[in-house]
Amino acid sequence: MLVRLLYVSRALDPSANEETDSILDSSRQHNIANGITGILCYGGGIYLQAIEGGRKQVNELYGHIIRDTRHKDVVLLHYEEITERRFGGWTMGKVNLSKLNTSIVLKYSEQPELDPYSVSGAVSLALLEELMLTASIIGRA
């Protein structure tokens, strides 16, 4: 059974890009071996991540994410059983929200800075899908 999980968290140090790179590197290594795909968006000290895969693998990964000391304020935004992956081409794609066209962010947010804590999981998922369609996601590996 495939599932999709979407969560948001805050960086401990919003200016530390090496933390984001560290999260991406460990995600990519772990995800290939466990059949997990997804994307990670970051910007303004916020991480927004969608992960897809088998229910057991995604649930175990989310438990690890909650305990990960590289970020805080982890909130589950959306969880669903799925029939197919939306982010199947990425072991963990990356989007820097601070480099996006403001009009894309404003489409899904009241302010030019996206705050997934203040919108529904469905809205955040719609943003991720648009980012995928507009080729804003890098790192297909």
Q: What is the pTM of this model?
A: 0.84
pLDDT digits over 56-114, tens only?
A: 999 999 999 999 888 899 999 999 999 999 888 766 667 776 677 778 878 888 887 77
Contacts of 104 (CB under 8 A, 6+ apart): 127, 130, 131, 134, 136
The answer on pLDDT for 34 being more than 60 is yes
